[in-house]
Chain A
Amino acid sequence: MWWRILMLPCKSNMRPRMRISDRVPEKAVTASVDTAAGCSSLAVDSTGFAGRRHMLRGLSASVAGMALAPFLVASGTAGPERACFRETYRGRRIVVVPDDAGLLGDDASGGWHVTVDGRPLHLMRRVDGSWMTMVDHYQSYPTPLAAARAAVDELGPTAQLGAANGTDGHTDDGGTPNVGQGVEGDHRNGVHA
């Protein structure tokens, strides 16, 4: 299907290193970098919020956890930039987990699985190597963590990520919405009354 949207992992040498932005006041952030093997519990935790895709695929949190463990051990030599990362930023819990194999489903994009307060934050890439989210649609950021922090900035104090932050927004069945098929039902023409 021409309009099918595919999510494929990028080449490892294209990934920017994760770093903490200088502009964030220290008090706002508590952070820790885990070894890859130490991320397994975090990863299971982050799949606790089962999106529609997970349900459709029958992928439960426990199955994801079992599948993930050997991957994380295997990725232990990938270098510090591939370590998972968690921090509390403005009171929100951000977790960034490398996921080259896409084991966490559609929430894993560009080899990263990101959650905010346990809810998946769908990351997307720009061609210049920067990162975007559906929360912040008209700007991109140098790292997945910067994009996650910007999403937290936009969420404000109370909002939580919902199902349509990218996970469910894209369809992979090639379907299109029913817009404009009202009285005219006119999809075949250009600018006509």
Chain B
Amino acid sequence: MVYTRRDVGTLTPAERRRFVAALIEVKRRGEYDEFVRMHIEYFLPDGENGPRTAHMAPSFLPWHRRFVLDMERALRRVDESVTMPYWDWTRDRASTAAPWTEDLLGGTGRRSDRQVMTGPFAYRHGRWTIKEGITDVEYLMRELGRPRDPIALPTALDVENALADPVYDTAPWNSTSAKGFRNKLEGWGRGRGAVSWRNHNRVHRWVGGHMVSGASVNDPVFWLHHAFVDLVWSRWQRRHRNARYLPAKPPGPKDAQHGRIVARHERMPPWDVTPDELEDHSAVYRYV
């Protein structure tokens, strides 16, 4: 039966409690940290040798679609009423609004060490100890809006600029692809500094703390963020009905991306699944 994914701000108090409880139970079971490890393992920038699936590659979107789906399955094994909510950062832009409330993810970190002190994921509750980090820090860190050097969340116009591109992705199929919906949404822009962070990347930067590291999955907002990125992909598919995942075929042997990216009908590690098989989610969930 098809279930719905909803805007996190519309969840009832009971739904919020159950979502948070499911996350904490998945963490207690040790499953959550498997997801953190996997995201760390699959980070490989495009200047290094080797195949890329999770970032700086066409399969950024299907990879994270499957990743979120796997976490959602883990949550639903705990409580089948739970689905993954999304955070529409083009609308919920305040650091005091959902999902940063006491009954959801808690707020920003304190100034001295960015430790999250509020909400159910605060370290003092003993239920959210960081075990798979890039540093030795055991508490969750955030720095919403980066007060030391403020940046803004992406806007609806920024998302629209990505949505308007009728082509899924373009050569060279990496972080320098100037055209194509995928990189405009993933957000590797030109130039240096703040102007080069767009959409998905900029949100990681705005949240700060763990969210800017390879261990970004440690912050549960990772899932709400990527559910929204997934929703934006769905919107793009609806707007461009005949557009498909690209490349349709693997780059040839003389192409620098040969063997390094996943074409439409190729297996996308670590799963035995292809981007083609992940394009249509309508049999499993829909966004409202």
Contact = CB atoms under 8 A, between A and B. Distances in A.
Tell whether A and B belong to one assembly: yes
Secondary structure class of chain B's binding surface, majority of residues = loop
Contact of B51 (A2, A7, A154, A189): A2
Interface in B127-184: 132-137, 141, 172, 174-176
A27 interface: no
B273 interface: yes
Interface stretch (A54-62, A92-100, A123-131): A123-131
B242 interface: no
Contacts of B273: 187-190
Contacts of B67: 179
Given A124-B47, A139-B201, 4 more contacts: A135-B212, A142-B192, A156-B141, A180-B271
A79 B174 CA distance: 32
B280 A166 contact: no
Given A182-B74, A183-B77, A191-B69, A169 B47 contact: no
A126 B47 contact: yes
Interface of B: 1-2, 31, 34-35, 37-38, 40-41, 43-51, 56, 65-67, 69-70, 73-74, 77, 112-114, 132-137, 141, 172, 174-176, 187, 192, 196-197, 201, 204-205, 212-216, 259, 269-274, 276-281, 283-284
Interface stretch (A37-45, A80-88, A157-165): A157-165
18 contacts: A2-B259, A5-B48, A110-B47, A125-B45, A125-B48, A126-B175, A137-B204, A139-B196, A139-B201, A142-B192, A166-B214, A176-B41, A176-B269, A178-B34, A180-B70, A188-B273, A191-B69, A193-B1
Contact of B44 (A5, A177, A183): A5
A138 B205 contact: yes
Interface of A: 2-8, 10, 109-110, 124-130, 132, 134-142, 154-162, 164-166, 169-171, 176-180, 182-184, 187-193
